[in-house]
Amino acid sequence: MKKYIVEKLQSYIDGNNIPWHMPGHKRKGFGNMAEDTAIKNIISAVHHIDVTEVYGLDDLHMPEGMIAKSQEELARVYNTFASYYLVNGSTCGIMTAIAACCRRDDGKVVHNIIVARNCHKSVINAAELLGVEPIYIEPKKVSLADENGHEYPDQFYGDIDLEKLEKLCRENTDISAMVITSPTYEGIISDIKEISNIVHRHGIPLIVDEAHGAHLPFMQKSASAIGLGADLVVQSLHKTMPAMTQTALIHVVNSHLDESVRKYKSMFMSSSPSYVMLCSMELAVCWGADYDYRPYLTRLESYRNKISQLKNITLLKTACYDLSRIVIEADVHGFVMEEELRKSGIICEMSGTHYVVLISTPFDSEEDFEYLYEVLSRIDSQLSLGQLGADVPAEEKIEETKNRIRALLGTRAKNNIYVYPPGSYIVVKGEVIAQNHIDMLLSYADSRKEIRGLGQ
């Protein structure tokens, strides 16, 4: 992939261009205005390339030059009808996609949308903003079992139940789109091809939140929704690719949606897009298009096999999953495992009730993997000796939280209730709180997760 944005911006920076315009740092950094620190120096370096829409560059909202050419390259690399850079994260992409599908070619606005229950909160927020009514489908639940036979039922959501989906499509004839998350936070990938076949038979476009799968088109192509029938795909480049936080892409596979996507992404995205982020995204995609993932996959497989040999630790493995997502199960609360790893300097992406999630990328070295294995081996020995998490004392604060949760049974939620990460709503504002909600919330409370939205 050609580096149109990077090369053009470099040429501009190297030229004799004196900025009598925004941004206020005037590309000069802080100079001697503050103490000399690593962070100050890094920010000053970023200031040097942080420009705005000036003569000779381009405008993300009306691209005609370097950005237009770069986005054409994106579409070629991803084999889509069109692909667009987003500087407001996947949240912007999700809102754009839902808005683009709500208005049909005949001008009719369709206010119902099928939503997988494990969707990110941005889906529900977008529905509320757009006046769209979610019709929920509950994905299959995934149960865990460790090497010692301990079972933990219904730990998190997995792939979509195809029979439930077919029934839902037959019963609801006025649907604007379906939104699903694949891969999930735990790395489970749904059967996108079959899901798309079902919804398309009913005239429903499929939006896939592939925020955690930006690497799939390069590493595990057969698992990416882009080539499996999805109409719109949203990816967070920063989650698993070497791009800055808040960078994302929206891929248009269905050409009929392109005009609406272009319209709404300009509504939801900042009118001052960052050229630093644009460069970061272009470089990340260029890297992905050229990078040979095979040595990384070999290293990953080797260490997954080594970790799987431990006595008390199990790695999640389902029918179709993201090979780079490391989900570690053990007969101990997830927060206990997370804390033990943190003591050794290993910071997890998140902890669940009886598992932790680690995100791996090719930027994890052989030494990184070896150190992770050494730490897990030590934890495994502690588990064998009953020295880890055998007696987690009850905390008064936890019991207070659990009492508040029990008192919510049968009431109507005044707020969206969720834990972050993963950021999926357990209870949506306005829902009647049922026993299954209570059970899930109590489980999260036992796992020391911070539950948001309990203030009723």
Please, what is the average pLDDT of the chain? 91
Among 384, 417, 437, give the residue marking a domain's end.
384
Sign of CA dihedral 148, 149, 152, 156: positive
Same domain as 306, residue 257: no
CA-CA distance, 435 to 418, in Å (whole number)? 16
Which residue is listed with tokens 């986005």?
71
Q: Which residues contact 119 (CB under 8 A, 6 or more apart)?
A: 179, 180, 181, 209, 424
Query: Is 181 a domain residue?
Result: yes
Q: What is the pLDDT of residue 104?
A: 64
Query: Is 317 a domain residue?
Result: yes
Phi, psi of 432 (to 5 degrees): -80, 130
- pLDDT per residue as tens digits for the range 162-207: 999 999 999 998 899 999 999 999 999 999 999 999 999 999 999 9
- pLDDT per residue as tens digits for the range 25-51: 888 887 666 577 888 888 888 998 999
Domain containing residue 99: 60-274
Which residues are registered as beta bridge partners of 177?
113
- pLDDT per residue as tens digits for the range 279-334: 999 999 999 999 999 999 999 999 999 999 999 999 988 889 999 999 999 988 89
CB 199 within 8 A of CB 226: no
- Confidence band (pLDDT; 50, 70, 90) for 225? very high
Query: If you average pLDDT over residues 91-101, what whole number do you get?
Result: 96
Report whether pLDDT(150) > 80. Answer: no
Q: What is the pLDDT of residue 317?
A: 83
Domains: count for the chain? 3
177: which DSSP letter? E
CA-CA distance, 161 to 204, in Å (whole number)? 17
Which residue is listed with tokens 């040979």?
292
Which residues are registered as beta bridge partners of 452?
418
Same domain as 199, residue 72: yes
Report whether pLDDT(105) > 80. Answer: no
- Residue 211 tokens read as 């925020």
- pLDDT per residue as tens digits for the range 390-410: 556 567 788 889 999 999 999
Helix (H, G, I), strand (E, B) or coil at 25: coil
Report the share of the chain in percent with pLDDT over 70.
Answer: 95
Same domain as 364, residue 443: no
- Confidence band (pLDDT; 50, 70, 90) for 353? confident
